[in-house]
Each structure stands twice: as structure tokens, then as C-alpha cells.
Amino acid sequence: MPQEQIPQLTLRDCFQDFPDPRREHLRLHSLWDIIGLTLCATICGYDNVVEIQEYGEKKFDFLTTFLDLENGVPSHDGDRPGVRTPGSGEVSCQLRELDGEFGSGRGGSCDRDRW
């Protein structure tokens, strides 16, 4: 009897419901491209947005095997008008929900209207 295939959960799946706080008409890069690039760079020891952008430029060919990066590597210039970085409350809220759903079970729901 063949063994039943269990669907694989990806990081992209985990962050698919993460709220994108940016104004829609100012979005040059997908939120997943920014999150994926940041996760990879952070795991590799890059500590700040300038280094993360440099990592993205150095590893562009590798990154495009799983990120779209249609408009190149996202810039570290976050001071443009209309751009708002997710606050730590939003990020920790998403991580708590993921922990509750896929991790220890101690997570919980968040009041997203606060953000």
C-alpha cells in the first residue's frame, strides 16, 4: 500500500498572511522577496539593511532560484515617503501565531487592528 504524501509547508506559506504595511502603489518588491532575502542574509550573519542589500547583490543568482526579485534586489533606502516598516509588534504577532499553529502550541491570536 503506498504511503500517503503529506504536503510540505514552506516559509513562504508561513508568511502568506503577513500584513503588508506598505502603500500598494509604492510596492516595487513583493513582501516575500524582502522577507526571504532578509531571512537568508540574517542566517548568514549580515546584521543591517546595508549588508542585507550587499548580500542580495552578491547572491542574486542563488536567490532567484526561490525568490522572484523581478525588480532586482530591494534597496536599503527605507526613508522614502510612504514607506512604513512593520513594527516589532506586528512581527512578534505573526511569529506568535505561527508558533501556535506550527510550533509549541503556546502561540495565540493577535489583535491586528492595533497595528
- Give CA–CA dist 15/32, Å, rounded: 8
**pLDDT tens, position by position, 30-85:** 989 998 999 999 999 998 889 999 999 999 999 999 999 999 999 877 544 433 44
Its pTM surpasses 0.75: no
Nearest C-alpha neighbor of 41 from the set 111, 33, 106, 5 = 33
The domain segmentation of the chain, as residue ranges, is: 27-76, 86-115
